[in-house]
Amino acid sequence: MTIANMAAEAPIVSVPFEIERVRADFPVLRQEVHGKPLVYLDNAATMQKPRQVTEAIDHYYRWDNANIHRAVHQLSERATQAYEAARNKVQHFINAAQREEIVFVRGTTEAINLVAQSFGRSRLQAGDEILLSHMEHHSNIVPWQLLCEQTGAVLKVVPIDDSGELLLDEYERYLSPRTRLVAMVHASNVLGTINPAQKIIELAHARGIPVLLDGAQTVPHMPVDVQELGCDFYVFSAHKMVGPTGIGALYGRREWLEAMPPYQGGGDMILSVSFDKTLYSDLPYKFEAGTPHIAGAIGLGAAVDYLEALGMGNVAAYEQELLNYGIEILAQIPGLRFIGTAQEKVGVLSFVLEGVHPHDIGTILDHEGIAIRTGHHCAQPVMERFNIPATARASLAFYNTKAEIDVLAAGIKRVGELLG
């Protein structure tokens, strides 16, 4: 089935919320760029923030600013309550069984580094294998390479097909007696491919192999239930889900986190310290050394509130309708070729235009007020797989509209007229 046929056969879904009311929550969307109304289509890089999130952060700094877990005064107690309330919100958002299974980190990258250095370094030996896919972001490659250099373990990479789908038969073949961990992206930031996570986990667990999923591109765009998935670790960033930068979460099954040594040492992760011995705090605090990003966690909690008010099922349905429309409209542009045509996708439209470098596409579109991403998207192995240096990528969010996709299509046609 071609991608155009996929769009034609997709069911029509009505808009599940008032789009103009939603857009009013995002002041940044009301500006002009180069004299043109902003069309923001770089959501896979970072999403814009609703006023509810910025107001929550502002309220903390105006009224509750204090360090947490350490003092008995009123401000510290309010700050601690808000910080821990955010942990509860994240727990319920991804349906973790216990709040102790949610560790606040700087983002997806730090969460993966934490698992690599704590879980991996204490368990892997020379010759052990870590299984990745060919569609990984650099953040799910480099931490494992560092671990391999430290332990003598080796990376194994499962190939993908020309549509950007994981080759499940090859994946099963790559699962070996030496495989100690599977670490894969849930949805690709370049291709949009949604991997069959439950099947990946089922096949790994049948062999006693734990699984980490990179959920940076799924948590903002579809319901995620870590208990239903059955994954061992799940990681994501707040800034890709309308929250602030510098904060994210690691979900880990309690039995794994209990068995893992601390990732970093310092204040707030200890029960007692002497020059002879240190006793570490219970979960999740033994992984949160030093003063955390308190305002960031509170902002993440506000982002969760915002998304839950919309309903993640509604978000997924609306973005799927936008994606189908984008595929239909952009497929009509002469010389445009999609990179990533999997059957199951989040709202990512990566493409190349015959005879035009993606950077030139991005520059010309910027002057039309359209913000997209161009380059390798921190996924150079994906570029090598498709034998291209870069792509142009328009990535969608629930506050985008079909009218904005029309503006994008008109802009790409203008690029073709100028440079094609």
Domains of the chain plus CATH, in order, are 19-45+311-419 (3.90.1150.10), 53-309 (3.40.640.10)
Residue 174 carries which side chain, given as an amino acid letter? Answer: Y
Are residues 397 and 220 in contact, defined by beta-carbon separation less than 8 angstroms? yes
Are residues 134 and 184 in contact, defined by beta-carbon separation less than 8 angstroms? no
Worst-scoring range by mean pLDDT, 13-22, 133-142, 228-237?
13-22
Task: Give the CA-trace dihedral at 377, 381, 386, 392, to 10 degrees.
Answer: 10
**Phi, psi dihedrals of residue 309, rounded to the nearest 5°:** -65, -35
Mean pLDDT of 207-236: 98
- Per the annotation, the verdict on 378 as an active-site residue is yes
Does the pLDDT at position 12 exceed 60?
no
pLDDT score of 181: 98
Q: Which of 10, 146, 378, 383 is catalytic?
A: 378
Looking at beta carbons, which pairs linking 254-260 to residues 24 or more positions away fall under 8 Å?
254/97, 254/98, 254/100, 254/101, 254/283, 256/119, 256/210, 256/232, 257/100, 257/101, 257/103, 257/283, 257/284, 257/287, 258/283, 260/118, 260/119, 260/122, 260/287
Mean pLDDT of 140-160: 98
Does the pLDDT at position 2 exceed 50?
no
Sheet of 179-185, strands arranged across: 102-105, 248-252, 233-237, 211-214, 179-185, 129-133, 154-158
225-283 tens-digit pLDDT? 999 999 999 999 999 999 999 999 999 999 999 999 999 999 889 899 999 999 999 99
The length of the chain in residues reads 420
Specify the 3-state DSSP secondary structure of 351: strand
* DSSP assignment string, 40-105: E-BTTT-----HHHHHHHHHIIIII---SSS--SHHHHHHHHHHHHHHHHHHHHTT-S-GGGEEEE
DSSP classification of residue 119: I
First to last CA, the chain: 28
Angle at 182 between CA 181 and CA 184, to 5 degrees: 145
Mean pLDDT of 21-39: 97
342-390 tens-digit pLDDT? 999 999 999 999 999 999 999 999 999 999 999 999 999 999 999 999 9
Strand partners, 214: 185, 235
Question: What is the average pLDDT score of the chain?
Answer: 95
Does the pLDDT at position 13 exceed 50?
no
CA gap 149, 146 in Å, rounded: 5
CA gap 78, 34 in Å, rounded: 44
H runs (alpha helix) in 141-195: 142-151, 168-174
Q: Which of 412, 416, 305 is nearest to 39 (CA)?
A: 412
CA gap 90, 303 in Å, rounded: 10
Strand pairing category for 348-353 and 336-338:
antiparallel
**Beta strand spans in 339-384 (E):** 348-353, 370-371, 373-375
Q: Band of the pLDDT at 14, cuts 50, 70, 90?
A: low
Residue 387 carries which side chain, given as an amino acid letter? Answer: N
Q: What is the CA radius of gyration of the chain?
A: 22
Specify the 3-state DSSP secondary structure of 131: strand
Q: Which of 224, 214, 215 is nearest to 93 (CA)?
A: 224
pLDDT score of 15: 59
> Which residue's entry shows tokens 């889900």?
241
CA gap 420, 415 in Å, rounded: 7
CA gap 39, 395 in Å, rounded: 11
Residues 6+ apart with CB under 8 A from 69: 80, 268, 285
Are residues 392 and 372 in contact, defined by beta-carbon separation less than 8 angstroms? yes
CA gap 305, 319 in Å, rounded: 19
pLDDT score of 261: 96
pLDDT score of 1: 37
Specify the 3-state DSSP secondary structure of 273: strand
In the chain, DSSP finds a helix count (H) and a strand count (E) of 16, 17
Residues 6+ apart with CB under 8 A from 225: 94, 95
48-78 tens-digit pLDDT? 999 999 999 999 999 999 999 988 999 999 9
Residue 245 carries which side chain, given as an amino acid letter? Answer: T
> Comparing 83 with 418, which gets the higher pLDDT?
83
